[in-house]
Amino acid sequence: MAEQTRTFIQNLLMVQSSFRQAIQRNLKKNNIDLTFEMLQIMVHLWKKDGINQQEIATKTFKDKASLTYLINNLTTRGLVFRQEDPIDRRNNNIYLTELGSEYGRKVKPMLQEIYKMASEKIDSSNFDVCINYLHDLDNAFKDI
Amino acid sequence: MAEQTRTFIQNLLMVQSSFRQAIQRNLKKNNIDLTFEMLQIMVHLWKKDGINQQEIATKTFKDKASLTYLINNLTTRGLVFRQEDPIDRRNNNIYLTELGSEYGRKVKPMLQEIYKMASEKIDSSNFDVCINYLHDLDNAFKDI
DNA sequence: TTATAATAGTTAAACCTTTAACTATTATAA
DNA sequence: TTATAATAGTTAAAGGTTTAACTATTATAA
């Protein structure tokens, strides 16, 4: 029923906002000079660097033009650098600097703690149902 | 468990992105010159105008500074106007213009159709569980 | 092989968000 | 009553997003 979907989206945007604020608040509290968006990029690079901008864009649901901007900003801060892929010269592979890796050792535990604290207030038995709900919505919107 | 929450947030951001794109796509298809953000404001005004900027900000999970910007933009397009509240002169009450109301008669059915189409692909029996999941997450992040 | 299409990235312009400092107004407590 | 706090809104600066047009490179099909 349409009104349920409307309500769900409303609440989804609410969570997106409170999540964002929680992240920003904790970055600040820990004196970490990163924006929410930069962090989104870095999280993926801490898992695996040397991936190109388009891959990062896809993983973070961002536009490739946003990636140009964000990678510029992260480069300026000395956290990452671009390296042209010798096999396919259209690609810029993005690598962490030593400083970029170091940030990870500080920030990843902070993130883990945030997720852990949130998890303790959630009834995890509903996880699968809720993830499916999100997937169904995502597929629906992609076709509309 | 923390990894579930991490996954949920990831998927939530995915849905937020596909929802946004669906809205933008359909606005464009129907030649409606509104951004996603302007639409968020207008949706609330079509329900009830004469509310102040802070109320709109709260309802849309936006900052009051964003509202100043967005109301300026909507005013420029001739869709709304500000009116100082005579009872509490700190407030700007926002009213629809005739053009703003007219937009609603075109855009509201489009939105309703989007929600309706999405709803048809969702198992609505899980709605309550999923809304509660969102509320729990929201409360958790507000405390972190 | 060569023309064409697809892909990765950049740029510029317009738009939106966030933060902090600021003004104006109203509420509250000593 | 008056000083103080709280609330609504604005502003400026820095940052992020979106779109379309663009370049460079690689893949594909005639």
Q: Integer distance in angstroms from CA B89 to C1' C23? A: 13
Q: Integer distance in angstroms from CA A102 to C1' D15? A: 23
Report chain C positions within 7 A of protein CB atoms.
7-13, 15-21, 24-27
Residue A67 is encoded by which pair of tokens?
């990636």
As a whole number, mean pLDDT of residues A29-46 equals 95
pLDDT in tens, A60-115: 999 999 999 999 999 999 999 999 999 999 999 999 999 999 999 999 999 999 99
Of all residues in chain B, what percent carry a pLDDT higher than 70? 100
SS3 A47: helix
Residue A52 is encoded by which pair of tokens?
């190109």
Residue carrying structure tokens 């993830």: A131
Query: Are B14 and A130 within 8 A, CB to CB?
Result: no
Predicted structure pTM score: 0.94
| B95 bridge partner residues | B81
User: Is 90 exceeded by the pLDDT of residue B126?
Assistant: no
Q: Is the CB of B39 under 7 A from strand D?
A: no
According to the model, what pLDDT value does residue A127 have? 92
